[in-house]
Structure 1
């Protein structure tokens, strides 16, 4: 109804303003409703449909675009021409030799139960073979490792992801991407050849945040084979004691090393050289420092550093999911204490203690630590360049309103899907303007850090599978696409991954039959 002709101009403008406000309100409600509806995911969908293909300036794949509903025009819009299709392969085909017998065989049984840590508060959690952490698995380079995972009664299902190990894609343990979750009463057998050397770990990648916090994790140590360069290097100063030190915070804020609250003790004689394998299994970065002895950082994320020098009064930052191997020498009198906030391990003769100190103010910068060396990778003329820009925006994620993490400005199905071909040299710039730090983890590959904030790496080649990117920081990294599959690339602050900070690096021509979504039982985060 229009205002009367006798109404004043002011009244007529007020009437129009009210009507306009009502119309704009309806439009806003409609827009919000459409945004909500568009964000709701199907009950079952493929991981390959969750992302806009980004070919990084390199060759695309028409076959991939057609198979997954991505048009050639959309692929070309990502900055690349779309060539002829590649031969297809499915994730379950990407395995180790099925006829080769296992050299190391391990059986793990996952249970949901009331967990008690000595001296701590009991909680409802999970165990592997009745313990948490689960058994340490140890193998030698070149051996075929076979692990049978059984789920006794974990209701949500379980998987095992081999963090930092470049396993064949079918063995990666990501529910809905490389396998289905192992439900109660079921089992799954993982098989892979230990082609790397170093400190790694394994953990659940189904409902991963509650399951990892609750206890479904363990250490994996891969030793060098005899008569290799790595074995020869280790023989120069062989450690008398090898300490596996998994750092973990259980429910209730119970900080542990190796499952022990507070300070634990490892017996060692004066003069002993000790390798301490620190594994950060938490979702946030931590720092470690040493009292009672100088120390060296021998390795990061399973890669030995070149020319590590002696350190004192410095702390070492270890990001979520990351590892650092420290070398210490037990003094002739006293002991060595390796500390992290809230827990420590003392190494020395029985009954001998070491000082407890606060964290040093100075942090070791791995960008300049050690000596440069040649790497089997030329990043100067890469086949593909990608941007991985981390941000945060309000919106809807699978129908849930919130303030969600974004990748290149997109969230949910609008994040980029990074497409590569086998053999590609890839350079990726990871930048963070989200307001919080993020420990970024690419499955199936290791990243060589080229620079941070434009400053080139000048120390030992710094290879990582877990990289802490703080707010305002930018890293340039490189890797070789030498492990075909569909690989998760996500924040290892596991709640962040569930809040949108997750995508994939996918090889052209590789497909997966596994499905994600509320109707599938698969929930990797």
Structure 2
């Protein structure tokens, strides 16, 4: 594997975010939760990051960081092919950026401070522009001081709808996150004091004490998360999904938090129709299977509302017994019935064999890289190929390359690896090729001792992050760069 000499990059780069965008001069400006269609095929939104008091339930009320005053931020829906502009304003008292997670947009719209844009200072504005891609579920979030800013509310869902075609009757996004009932987690991973540092000195700074201070307390802080937050609410204030018999239902699950979560759909047969905004080929009906969704991932699930009652969708973290939630799936007329849940199961959905292959030929790679997910000190910091921020591994590519990664997890925790600016095809797991539908993703959860092969075509010029989306792992060093050579 060829490597070029690494350059120094500020540590706070690793945690960043760039939010939606589009291009056009004749735009209609609307609230972020409204959709506009026009003859010019353009749409524009105002989005403001600001502090707002949020009531998660009757016992948990905090001043949160919000987009347009809500957690999650007001949902944005656009049509495939629309030219979109997000007029973003930072009304916080600290720097921020926006990241459109899952969109393969122009590099300067990616929201990574000092790689694709400068941090947006308090009181400043920035326009994010893009053309809406293929239909699917995407999301947006801060990409600066992420564990603090996303953890305190700076996230929202972006949905791209088909240009044509029938809609399902019920189409709901479900965001999954977590809080501490002890109060705000602002102090976790806060790098805001680094924003004004002289970049020329970054390469000579001893970052060990900062990493050590942060990560010695990581287990304790992770255990402080004890309150699941579903669509901005904590139990018993989690809002039901209301359906009536015969409805076609689409649920878009988005993990905006820090923990790998299990989702259990009760009673109904369902199809998994999308991963990370990408369509599953010929999905079949299944039941009694847990869907695991890691930080940054999205899963689309569809089913027919054909089992009257008041059912409970279970959502619970794999590694934190405190994080258990139930979303009522409520049929009209059954609102006063007690919520029923199925017994917990341990059969897991497997995307390696689900759906049908389109039999497309897999290209031979022109670049073949290793990505070893490790730790130099037993879990205090995390590395890629033994390197960590601010001296990351850099993978050099050129436009047109077919790039293959073999990713191996040599640690004892999950690492949801997110590639900016591209989707990749997952080819194999532990040496066994996938046999179902082609699996296209932008975030892949690699569990301890697992090895995956993935591949993508280098077709989006720029410098892109490839990092763990468990944000404390990223802050502890698990960040690499995919860099195009001109």
1:205-250 residue CA offsets vs partner (Å, 9 max, x unmatched):
0111111010001000001112xxxx4xxx4xx5211111111213
Residue 465 (1) aligns with residue 442 (2)? yes
8 Å Cα contact 2:272-2:283 kept in structure 1 = yes
8 Å Cα contact 2:264-2:291 kept in structure 1 = yes
For residue 425 of structure 1, what is the aligned residue in structure 2?
402
Number of aligned residue pairs: give it: 405
Aligned-CA RMSD value: 2.3
Alignment of 1:20-419 (within 5 A): 55=2, 103-152=42-91, 154-226=92-164, 231=165, 235=166, 238-252=167-181, 253-262=226-235, 263-341=238-316, 342-345=324-327, 346-352=329-335, 353=337, 354-375=339-360, 378-379=362-363, 381-394=364-377, 403-419=380-396
The 3-state SS of whatever aligns with 1:404 is coil
Deviation at 1:435, TM superposition (A): 2.0
Deviation at 1:330, TM superposition (A): 1.6
Distance 1:434 1:312 in 2: 32
8 Å Cα contact 1:292-1:355 kept in structure 2 = no
Distance 2:251 2:421 in 1: 25
Q: Cα gap change, 1:414/1:322 in structure 2, threshold over 3 Å: closer, same or farther?
A: same
Distance 2:54 2:121 in 1: 21
Deviation at 1:351, TM superposition (A): 3.6
TM-score (ref. length: structure 1): 0.73
8 Å Cα contact 2:27-2:44 kept in structure 1 = no
8 Å Cα contact 2:388-2:479 kept in structure 1 = no
8 Å Cα contact 2:267-2:342 kept in structure 1 = no
1:25-44 residue CA offsets vs partner (Å, 9 max, x unmatched):
xxxxxxxxxxxxxxxxxxxx
Deviation at 1:344, TM superposition (A): 3.1
Distance 1:120 1:372 in 2: 49
Q: Cα gap change, 1:120/1:295 in structure 2, threshold over 3 Å: closer, same or farther?
A: farther
Deviation at 1:439, TM superposition (A): 0.6
8 Å Cα contact 2:392-2:481 kept in structure 1 = no
Q: Cα gap change, 1:371/1:123 in structure 2, threshold over 3 Å: closer, same or farther?
A: same
Distance 1:388 1:467 in 2: 13
Give the unaligned 5+ runs of structure 1.
1-53, 70-94, 396-401, 510-525
1:7-41 residue CA offsets vs partner (Å, 9 max, x unmatched):
xxxxxxxxxxxxxxxxxxxxxxxxxxxxxxxxxxx
Deviation at 1:254, TM superposition (A): 2.6
1:106-146 residue CA offsets vs partner (Å, 9 max, x unmatched):
11111134432233412342111111111100000000111
Distance 1:119 1:488 in 2: 39
Distance 1:120 1:483 in 2: 47
- Higher helix proportion, which one? 1
The 3-state SS of whatever aligns with 2:309 is coil
Point out 4+ residue stretches in structure 1 off by more than 4 angstroms. 95-102
8 Å Cα contact 2:52-2:70 kept in structure 1 = no
Q: Cα gap change, 1:317/1:332 in structure 2, threshold over 3 Å: closer, same or farther?
A: closer
Distance 1:159 1:429 in 2: 31
The 3-state SS of whatever aligns with 1:173 is coil
Distance 1:277 1:308 in 2: 16
The 3-state SS of whatever aligns with 1:451 is strand
8 Å Cα contact 1:292-1:337 kept in structure 2 = no
1:50-109 residue CA offsets vs partner (Å, 9 max, x unmatched):
xxxx648xxx8xxxx79x69xxxxxxxxxxxxxxxxxxxxxxxxx965667571211111
TM-score (ref. length: structure 2): 0.79
Q: Cα gap change, 1:210/1:193 in structure 2, threshold over 3 Å: closer, same or farther?
A: same
Deviation at 1:176, TM superposition (A): 2.0
Distance 2:98 2:436 in 1: 34
Distance 1:217 1:276 in 2: 18
Distance 1:359 1:422 in 2: 47
Q: Which stretch has the larger CA shift, 201-210 or 358-367?
A: 358-367
**Which structure is higher in RCO with an 8 Å CA cutoff and minimum separation 6?**
1
8 Å Cα contact 2:139-2:156 kept in structure 1 = yes
1:398-445 residue CA offsets vs partner (Å, 9 max, x unmatched):
xxxx83212112233553201111111111000010221101000011
